[in-house]
Structure 1
């Protein structure tokens, strides 16, 4: 599976780290030097709304967490950021240079720090789900069981038979039954995803796809459905998706430095185009952990969060592994020592991973540049299983 309407030339990992060794003159951001001078993993104070603390004060073994950097270096993991929050406080962050393919900026070696935005790729889908929940909370949408065609009367002549039965919830759970395949090479003409960026009217393209199975029976990974949800939000709010996201979600979370990129056809890339600072992405995780609340404000209803993170389908093969899928959120479990720990996640191509571990009051966000690599999920899961969970020192 591929994302985002563009595929750039990739460097081998050996070449990447050779470049890293000679990159002493590469431009760095304001906080890079400060970050290196701090104790291992100490969060920077940048006035973004996060309360910061030491790992030990939040019941974590800081020494164990300090082993993350050595492990990532030894395994050439090309991870760019590791951010950890516990008990509602930011307790650990580390950033690493590496190869990346940031949207619109060109591939190559990049430096990262606390104020660097990173492509979220399909983590964007989980954010769209939160925005749909907010729209329902505000009664802009009656419910997730509303039929899709209700919002697209201008496409009634092009919709394929069977679309009358497809609801927002079917798009959210990727169970619409529409014929869709993005698990192909990017240049394969049968890959549906590139059409989202190349078609003059991508919504017409999606709505004209045939319905191959009854809704709510088959799970198929589908970014086209998420782009429809993004356009529905625009239609019901009277705002562009990024304007609605700013007002309804990002401003309440104190997220001010972000981008939601557009395809070449000038349509916003709802399913894959969000760029956030990793510590701001961790706020999204904390919001879910807090059942929709942030800083004593209910941003999205607890009911919507519960519906979103309830497993509805088994999802095999995407991002590597056996998981379950809710409403644009993934669910899984990790075996760490003798403990089986359940988690909720938002996942994006290249190793973008937002893990939420309710039983441990824990949020872990990682970003990386493993596009097209079968290892893209391994590094984040290894950090979670072999470092973060074993670092918990309380019940």
Structure 2
């Protein structure tokens, strides 16, 4: 006790008052150092969560919740009013493309598999191709772009349009809801067939187009190949020039299967804060930093609910043109969102009514409830952290 008194006298009453004030401020702000974004000079305006009307104490409680639920989330990135205001990274199990499974560390500079969130980026690239008149419209017949496969296409393919591929309503007989090693799973054929395009176009059209929704990476694969054909560029080159460079995204990869076929539907790898730029672009109706990258009409078409999407990711969602739509209930209020979703828990949430973008990565591949951690954060922590409900 005497030692403590001596220490107080050495510090002086002024210093003690400053320490107490600092501690009080930290308690009131819920540890303001939590989730502060790194300054990487990548085009983001960085600010504090409090400055954009978010309760930092509530956001700082996310880490404890993730540990409690064992959600294996690797990153949480939050953008509000166009500013990057929160990012946290966590070590955990992951299965990066081509590297096998194991424990990994993550930070603001680490790329992460986007898996099927890649599909939403393909939708944006199709929109850009249409804006540039490389494709007349989404109502063009898909087989028009593959004349050399006329002899192998199954009956009914002439009625399938790009929009049917975008909305996963082509009627193609396709099944991805099986184990990867199950020979009846169509998705692995994209990686092992010498000619995946032939494999896709030879699949029967089992139902009339535009009548039934079936999750289908084969259709996205065709869209990626169409982009290459109309642009006369590899998919990676067109994506770099048309989308990533304008967004200031320089550190990314689009992986290929072992047959050297680009994985249009699942192969994109991005830093989470760069993936959040994709969400902000959609929130801004195709505009970034004063530049219109994609027409607002395409964004509106893509994010309009068209089908009830049942039986793939957990939850009850709607589907547009390679984009998901859903809702959360937060503080007894329904909040609608748009999302890109990928296996393992990769999520880009866009919440127009809250002027909010949330990006999460995770490593719960091929497991039930793989995206529940992200939905839990949205409903119980991030949305309730919004102090004002207006833009």
TM norm structure 1: 0.90
Is 1:87 equivalent to 2:54 in the alignment?
Answer: no
For 1:281-360, what aligned pairs fall within 5 Å after superposition?
Answer: 281-360=275-354
List gaps (5 residues or longer) in structure 1. 1-36
C-alpha separation in 2, matches of 1:131 and 1:183: 27
Counterpart for residue 274 of structure 2: 280
Q: Secondary structure at the match of 1:85?
A: strand
**1:38 deviation in Å?**
8.4
Q: Which of 54, 75, 94 is equivalent to 1:60?
A: 54
Q: After TM superposition, what 4+ stretches of structure 1 lie above 4 angstroms from structure 2? A: none
Q: What is the CA deviation profile of residues 229-286 of structure 1, one whole-angstrom value per residue up to 9, with x for unaligned ones?
A: 0000000000000100000000000000000000000010000000000000000000
How many Å separate the matches in 1 of 2:366 and 2:213?
Answer: 23
1:141 corresponds to 2:135: yes
Q: Per residue, is there more helix in 1 or in 2?
A: 2
Residue 164 of structure 2 is matched in structure 1 by: 170
Contact conserved, 2:32 with 2:56, CA < 8 A, in 1?
A: no
Task: String of CA shifts for 1:333-373, please: whole Å, max 9, x gaps.
Answer: 10111110000000000000110000000000000000121
Matched, 1:76 2:70: yes
**Number of the residue aligned with 1:260:** 254
Contact 2:303 2:324 in 1 (8 A): yes
Match of residue 242, structure 1, among 236, 241, 247: 236
Q: Displacement of 1:106 after TM fit?
A: 2.2
**Corresponding residue of 1:51:** 45
In structure 2, C-alpha distance between the alignment counterparts of 1:331 and 1:372, rounded to whole Å: 21
For 1:351 and 1:149, locate their aligned partners in 2 and report how far apart those are by CA, in whole Å: 33
Equivalent residue number for residue 198 of structure 1: 192
Distance 1:163 1:317 in 2: 25
* Selected match of 2:151 from 133, 136, 157: 157
Q: Secondary structure at the match of 1:182?
A: coil
1:42 equivalent in structure 2 = 36
- The CA distance in 2 between the partners of 1:315 and 1:333, in whole Å, is 13
CA distance in 2: counterparts of 1:95 and 1:231, whole angstroms? 34
Task: Note the residue ranges of structure 2 that are not aligned, 5 or more in a row.
Answer: 1-30
Is 1:370 equivalent to 2:329 in the alignment? no
Counterpart CA distance in 1 for 2:196 and 2:70 is: 38
- Between structure 1 and structure 2, the one with the greater Rg is 2
